[in-house]
Amino acid sequence: MLLTIDIGNTNITLGAYDNDVLCFTARLATAHGTTSDQYAVEIKNILELYGLNSARIEDCIISSVVPSVGSAVCNAVSMLCDIVPLELGPGVKTGLNIKIDNPAQLGADLVAGAVGAISEYTLPCVVIDMGTASTISVIDRNGAYLGGVISAGVRLTLKALTENTAQLPSIDINAPKSVIGSNTVDCMKSGLIYGTAAMLDGLLDRITDELGEIPTIVATGGLSKDIIVHCKNDIIYNANLLLDGLREIYEKNR
């Protein structure tokens, strides 16, 4: 079996593939001070939770936007499964034609998402990934990565609001009944949910104009599912896009 691990700023997402079949997905918190031994215990417990012995893991691929955590998780998998994980980075074959100014700057998560989208959807394609940051990746009809957009994620925006104002409370992130809020909490929810949806629609319209053709739009990560239902654009939700992309990259390097 192949273990795929995507390490983000907030969460670590794990998935195990038996050939092309995704057997399970699970999440851990990204904790900068956690040691390799601790991660090994947590990964072992997750595998056992889903009825898998670590001996069944034959290989592993890891993408990380947090280098210190990536190193700790890589060592943990090596100790637990007696394998050397493939870490997504320079020298790894992705098949992705990256046309940004400095291709080395493109995050591993964006690479994985783009590769997953190219393998599963009609091009051109736009990938929305809503995590700690909200990112948009644009892939043209030839499968080239043209660039994208980065903005603050919904939870990061909420944190900034509550920590930098005297009277705005911390709230649950869910949609209010109407855009026009009649109290502080609903006003904040409207800004977070409907405001983010409107931002996405506006950016997607502008991206479509620049491309000159209508792209397939796919969203993944964090709160995407709760946001895109309020968008006017037709957006496909794929919770496992990055893990699928990692599996595709692994196959290219096997």
Q: Which residues are marked as active site?
A: 109
Q: Which residues pair with 133 in a beta bridge?
A: 152
- Residue 242, number of CB atoms within 10 A of its CB: 30
Q: Which residues pair with 33 in a beta bridge?
A: none
With beta carbons less than 8 A apart as the criterion, state whether 125 and 217 touch: yes
Token look-up 């079949």 returns: 21
With beta carbons less than 8 A apart as the criterion, state whether 39 and 72 touch: yes
Token look-up 């496992």 returns: 240
Task: Please spell the DSSP secondary structure of 45-85, one letter per residue.
Answer: HHHHHTT--GGG--EEEEEESSHHHHHHHHHHHHHHHS--P
